[in-house]
Structure 1
Amino acid sequence: MYVIDQQNDHRIEQRARMYRETYPAFAHWANGYGVIQHSDETQVRIFDLCQQLVCEGRFKQIDEVLEILSATDRLTSAAMWLVVHMTYSTKVDFSGSALDAEDFKANPQGHTGGSLNMVPAYVAYMVANHLAGITRSWLMGQGHCVAAIDAVNVLLQNLYPEQAERYPLSDEGLSQLAQDFYSYAITDDGRPGVPLGSHVNPHTAGGLIEGGYLGFAELQYVHMPLPGERLVAFLSDGAFEEQRGSDWASRWWRAEDCGLVTPVMIANGRRIDQRSTMYQQGGLTWFYEHLEQNDFHPIAIDGRDPAAFIWGIFESEARLQACSAHIRAGKMCYPVKLPYLIAETEKGYGFYGAGTNAAHGTSLPGNPRSDAAARQLFNEHAARLFLPRTELTSAIEKITQHKADNRVPEKYHALGQRDVVLKLPTASPQCEKGQALSPMAAVDKRLCEWHLANPGVRVRIGNPDELRSNRMGQTLDLLKHRVLNPEDGVAESIQGAVITALNEEAVVSAALANKGGMNLVVSYEAFAMKMIGALRQEIIFARHQKELNRHPRWLSLPVIATSHLWENGKNEQS
């Protein structure tokens, strides 16, 4: 095994050297920028991607792609530079001058390490969209890493109006951004006083969920995009054990009613105060085996390099498209092995304290405002990330080509712009006058009528127990359990819309994720209690959107928790 790997490594090194020696533009990009460096493996992968983009007619020559990739390195470095300023400083200076004591916050805060790790991932998402000429959607489970999203969005001016007005691309605008981050400012009526938060929020351009409850993005992403849509979902290794059920994603994905999904785990090691189950079980080696056993196709990439993420997004989508074509041709059957990117990195890469527990929050050994040694460390390590304004302007121009691509900005990606309209079904009496009828039977009948009147609208029914015992028999017979191996004579189908699992968080997340369709969750009262966390996160986010007059246009989600009096004799309390 060692000899094979050694031979493969040698071949990769040989190919990368050949490409650098043959193509000056490739050699220029391969040199990287500052802390952004490219391994031989990533170089070989990127060369193949460049050739693919030329063959597809997207670009005329690979030099055009490499120019964009060189700009990507520089934008990534600049965004990391801005992230550390958001944590520590009140002043951002495009000249790159060292900051003085009075330029730092009295109480620096932020999830700096995770945010630094998210910067190359989110920049890569932006650039992959430009390279493909497609605006994909994005989702981030670790909402506390919002500094990365805001930093990149501000530099690219991919902002909603309230942030665009307050944070222009200038010393003053970026300084205001740094001052507002973790400022705890509130208005007279008790609301947040700035259009910025410690987690993803409705001010975050393109944000979908707050992310405070780790693990729900993992449960939702596979149900989010409709056919023809694409989603890149950034996930956390620390969230892997938060909510069980994320390893069932391949069980639910169908090419016929799901868009392309690219899950990306940012694998940056230790959690705040403890080691996660993943690392106790054997680290990433164990996790790769776990993914393979659960019908994923794990793909390792360099989590420190935006180019590795870009290649991974294209590779993941190409694999999923190939599988879809084989299924349509009858050459494959479900489940599809979902590609799953694992971005291996160290917490807080690129800044002082990377890889330590302190990197989770504020990694410097003291506050630069009062500690001269910490101040020197900040200025020294920030300087390694600095990008001169002229180079930043050039990089931004190369990446923000939405008009030329004839596509919408990322702040208006498809999953954030749902607007579902249903055709009203023909009214029919539920029962004859004086006839006894279960309320759930009436719900059952009416839901079927809504579905039959709107056959093109995707349906998700969340079911953590027994649908028939909750008087939803017509719905089950019409829409059927989604399974991989249907049994004859049972209400089951590969294309079923009823998501059944003995995991309440997973089934409610299937419905919450389907904002492009029609949903219902039915459960017993006791089981429904575990759904409250997911519902709370969604309700608060939607309420804040409405307060900003940015109304969510997806359909309201009914969640019915039944409780039967006659069970008291059996279960004592229900």
Structure 2
Amino acid sequence: MQDQLTSTQETVSEKEWFEGYGVIAHSAETRKRIAEMAATLSAENTAGDGVAFYDVLAAADRIANAAMWLAVNQTYAAHIYTDGRDLKTDDFKKDPQGHLGGSLNMIPAYVGYMLANALTGTTRSWVMGQGHAVAAIDSVNLLLGNMTEEHAARYALSEDGLTRFARDFYSYSLNEDGRQDSPLGSHVNPHTGGGHLEGGYLGFASVQYAHMPLPGESLVAFLSDGAFEEQRGADWTPRWWRAEDCGEVVPIMIANGRRIDQRTTMSQEGGVEWFIKHLELHGFEPLVFDGRDPAAFAWAIWQQERRLREYAANLNSVEHYHVPVPYGIAVAPKGAGFYNEGTNYAHNLPLVDNPHINEVAAKRFNTHAKKLYVPFAELQDSVSLFQHHEKSDRVKEREHPAGNRDVRLKTLPDLNFKAITSQTNDPQIWEEISPMDAIDEGFLKTVKANPHLRPRVGNPDEMLSNRMDDTLEALEFRVVDAEEGLEESTLGKVITALNEEAVAGAAFGNKGGINMIVTYEAFGAKMFGGARQEVIFSKHQKDIGKPAGWLSVPLVLTSNTWENGKNELSHQDPSLAESMLSETSDISRVLFPADYNSAAETLARLYQTQGQIWTLVIPKRAMPVLFSEEESQKLLNDGGIQISWAGHEADKAEIGLVAIGAYQLVEVLKASARLKERDIAHSVSYLIEPGRFRTPRNDGEAEHIVPEAVRDVIVPPASRHILMMSHTRPEVMLGTLQPLWSGKSVKALGFINQGGTLDVEGMHFVNGCSWAHILRETATLLGINEENILSDEERQALNGTRSPDGVITKTNNKES
């Protein structure tokens, strides 16, 4: 409807615009800046969408007021009247909810973004770190017809459409499918026009935005001073941004000075003046402006882009990359424009009392909402001036590039599988190579074969220790000034800092390219919040039939729990794999490649998918090459495999040994050799992706799990007993893999929080999951005498009456 509206408004003069509208006023500084902007655009023959300059500015004032009016009604009103009448107590919601203060601050910002686009004829991308301010985005999108299909089907610029918009907000209603009925959320979701980051985890937008826009694009990042203290790395953008491979970035801090219950730390430190000094110290150029005025935001966006472009063009040498990044500081009190602005009450529900039952609160609402009201006909005229995208041949803001990626490989390089001369469970003849070499080689080959994709490697430290040698040599650490003789470059593609969330943000932000995250397994736990935010949003996109189009991201956990024994228990932690396994398995895929070949096949499969996070638990040490090319492919196809060359008389075995994890498979194979030697029938299976064997919790998982027939081939149903050996804590897998245990007795071994300064075999022993422990548990499950499969010395070591060294564990393992 709005696209067809035509303006009946007379041309607005500069002087008329100066007068402002409603709660929007224009300071002398903003007037001067806007006049300079108008002159420059005119001199450059930039006509934007073809609407008179001050006409569209005046329209923005009205739209900002109307959006604020709509947001306060969305929070409090059960019925919206387009004539702006006072609401009676029965017109209010019984249980108002919302984050109104932040939304009121974001409305001038988002309208200013729309205004900048209309004035320059360019659709920029945007991201908002404070996702709880989504009412601002949804309200402006509704007024301007920038809604997704789901919103447009329910909401309109009419009394009924606006009332439904208000009632859907925090309605908590379920539809006939037992799902949330309303497409509105408390935070940004895939129904939000242009939304691509939930912003529920405060601070993550600030470590991603520098890596979001591709060359030729521009992105406005709306950030909050409350989130600034949440996440380290928010001030590192000048370290990472490069004109050579990045689009323009426009960071804008909404500096309202308050969190939920008190002033922000920034405010307590000295407020805007302190922040200016902080930004200058970290390579930014601060620009302070009026955070109440959409025109001030439009000017800041335009000005920050121009300055960044100019500074990059004037760089003397890329060998010393010192480009100041302009950074907008939008100053306004929390909840500006409505009752109780600037107080702690402004955050959620500024009226303090419920207007549905409190007449004083109702009067407050009506008094302050009236200041925001825009007569409907005048509003329609203003809306029409923002409907001329075709004149500048640009897409609607809901279709901006960063939120609408479709990234694919053009070339899948050939895999370099290692030939297997013999397959046996005899460790004496195993050929060993690090599975991380397959990751290193495979990633670099894929990057080189697909030069259209911008690479980013997020790495907190120790790339070389983690055996990403070739990747580091080719892509190099990104630095401001390179140190001679090291793998460093100002244009490097490896983003490294001793902050796990920040470097992961580089990969999660680079949704237009190809990515990898590599970290010590124990420290990966710090990345969980950022990874989970990506999983949640991607799952929601898939569920509404609009799956994410970014290339799936590997989260590689190496120097893992079992091989990092020398670094104390703090470095021995499988928690991230466990946590990611608890998320939906069709998006959060957790795999345990056991050798070089299975790691190579895993990486190749990963980059043929979109919108998924693959958590890969991979040893960095040399490990036996156990699976052939065909077996590796079968592992990835089926999620697991029964190892035909291991076990003994598997077709009549009463017990099945199941391994999850590379080191765990080695221990199982050692135990299997002893069982075969003693003529005890058993099967040996390996699960590379346990999430495909769980009881599905949603439709996506139901499609992702393996068929029962395949499952029965991997773990024979005739087995009465199952002994599982897991890289993780055993309880996690016992719960996840319940369908495998149905009708069987089961014992699970794994990490039980024991560690210290130990070697690999010592780690297995103290956690009760060495090959000898497997044999003891096998004897218990089968009801046989353990003396038949364990020597006296081995039993003594297990009983704690002698040292296991030289009997079960060895002392000559190499540590790295």
Normalised to the residue count of structure 2, the TM-score between the two structures is: 0.66
1:565 maps onto 2:562 in alignment:
yes
Instruction: Show the counterpart of 2:410.
Output: 423
Query: Structure 2 residue aligned with 1:362, among 346, 349, 369?
Result: 349
- Secondary structure of the structure 1 residue equivalent to 2:126: strand
RMSD of Structure 2 on Structure 1 (CA): 1.8
Q: CA deviation at 1:272?
A: 1.3
Q: CA deviation at 1:277?
A: 2.0
How far, CA to CA, are the matches of 2:437 and 2:419 in structure 1?
14
Asked if the contact 2:30/2:296 (under 8 Å) is kept, the reply is yes
Q: How big is each residue's C-alpha offset from its partner over 1:398-431, in whole Å with a ceiling of 9 and x where there is no partner?
A: 1221122211100100011111121234414243
Query: Structure 2 residue aligned with 1:375, among 362, 365, 375?
Result: 362
Q: How big is each residue's C-alpha offset from its partner over 1:102-135, in whole Å with a ceiling of 9 and x where there is no partner?
A: 1100011111111011000000101111111111
1:492 maps onto 2:456 in alignment:
no
Q: How big is each residue's C-alpha offset from its partner over 1:324-347, in whole Å with a ceiling of 9 and x where there is no partner?
A: 2113x6499412110000000001
Asked if the contact 1:323/1:332 (under 8 Å) is kept, the reply is no
1:422 maps to a residue whose letter is L
Instruction: Show the counterpart of 1:521.
Output: 517
How far, CA to CA, are the matches of 1:89 and 1:426 in structure 2?
58
1:324 maps onto 2:323 in alignment:
no
Instruction: Show the counterpart of 1:537.
Output: 533
- Secondary structure of the structure 1 residue equivalent to 2:329: strand
Asked if the contact 2:49/2:118 (under 8 Å) is kept, the reply is no
Pairwise mapping of residues 101-500 of structure 1 onto structure 2 (< 5 A)? 101-327=89-315, 330=317, 333-434=320-421, 435-500=431-496
Asked if the contact 1:51/1:62 (under 8 Å) is kept, the reply is no
Q: How big is each residue's C-alpha offset from its partner over 1:455-488, in whole Å with a ceiling of 9 and x where there is no partner?
A: 2310000100101111110110011100111122
- Secondary structure of the structure 1 residue equivalent to 2:551: coil
Asked if the contact 1:134/1:407 (under 8 Å) is kept, the reply is yes
In structure 1, the gaps of 5 or more residues are: 1-22
Instruction: Show the counterpart of 1:3.
Output: none
Asked if the contact 1:90/1:104 (under 8 Å) is kept, the reply is yes
Greater mean deviation of Cα atoms: 79-88 or 274-283: 274-283
Q: 1:99 to 1:459 in 2, by over 3 A?
A: same
Greater mean deviation of Cα atoms: 171-180 or 277-286: 277-286
Asked if the contact 1:34/1:77 (under 8 Å) is kept, the reply is yes
Greater mean deviation of Cα atoms: 428-437 or 257-266: 428-437
Q: CA deviation at 1:565?
A: 3.2
Q: CA deviation at 1:217?
A: 0.5
Q: CA deviation at 1:58?
A: 2.1
Query: Structure 2 residue aligned with 1:511, among 487, 490, 507?
Result: 507
Asked if the contact 1:26/1:63 (under 8 Å) is kept, the reply is no
Asked if the contact 1:140/1:234 (under 8 Å) is kept, the reply is yes
How far, CA to CA, are the matches of 1:330 and 1:67 in structure 2?
43
Q: How big is each residue's C-alpha offset from its partner over 1:196-245, in whole Å with a ceiling of 9 and x where there is no partner?
A: 11100011010011111100001100110000000001000000110101
How far, CA to CA, are the matches of 1:407 and 1:276 in structure 2?
39
Instruction: Show the counterpart of 1:51.
Output: 39
Q: 1:59 to 1:564 in 2, by over 3 A?
A: closer
Instruction: Show the counterpart of 1:73.
Output: 61
Query: Structure 2 residue aligned with 1:94, among 63, 74, 82?
Result: 82
Q: CA deviation at 1:433?
A: 3.2
Q: 1:393 to 1:566 in 2, by over 3 A?
A: closer
How far, CA to CA, are the matches of 1:24 and 1:161 in structure 2?
34
- Secondary structure of the structure 2 residue equivalent to 1:234: strand
Q: How big is each residue's C-alpha offset from its partner over 1:175-206, in whole Å with a ceiling of 9 and x where there is no partner?
A: 00000111111234442111111100011010
In structure 2, the gaps of 5 or more residues are: 1-10, 422-430, 573-816
1:182 maps to a residue whose letter is Y
Q: CA deviation at 1:82?
A: 0.2
Greater mean deviation of Cα atoms: 502-511 or 425-434: 425-434
How far, CA to CA, are the matches of 2:526 and 2:366 in structure 1?
47
Q: How big is each residue's C-alpha offset from its partner over 1:476-514, in whole Å with a ceiling of 9 and x where there is no partner?
A: 001110011112221111110000000000000100000
Instruction: Show the counterpart of 1:13.
Output: none
2:301 maps to a residue whose letter is I
Q: How big is each residue's C-alpha offset from its partner over 1:353-379, in whole Å with a ceiling of 9 and x where there is no partner?
A: 111110111111321111111111111
Q: CA deviation at 1:284?
A: 1.4
Asked if the contact 2:61/2:294 (under 8 Å) is kept, the reply is yes
> How many matched pairs?
551
Greater mean deviation of Cα atoms: 233-242 or 277-286: 277-286
Greater mean deviation of Cα atoms: 426-435 or 542-551: 426-435
Q: 1:132 to 1:187 in 2, by over 3 A?
A: same
Asked if the contact 1:326/1:332 (under 8 Å) is kept, the reply is no
1:269 maps to a residue whose letter is G
How far, CA to CA, are the matches of 2:177 and 2:556 in structure 1?
34
How far, CA to CA, are the matches of 1:314 and 1:109 in structure 2?
35
How far, CA to CA, are the matches of 1:93 and 1:403 in structure 2?
32
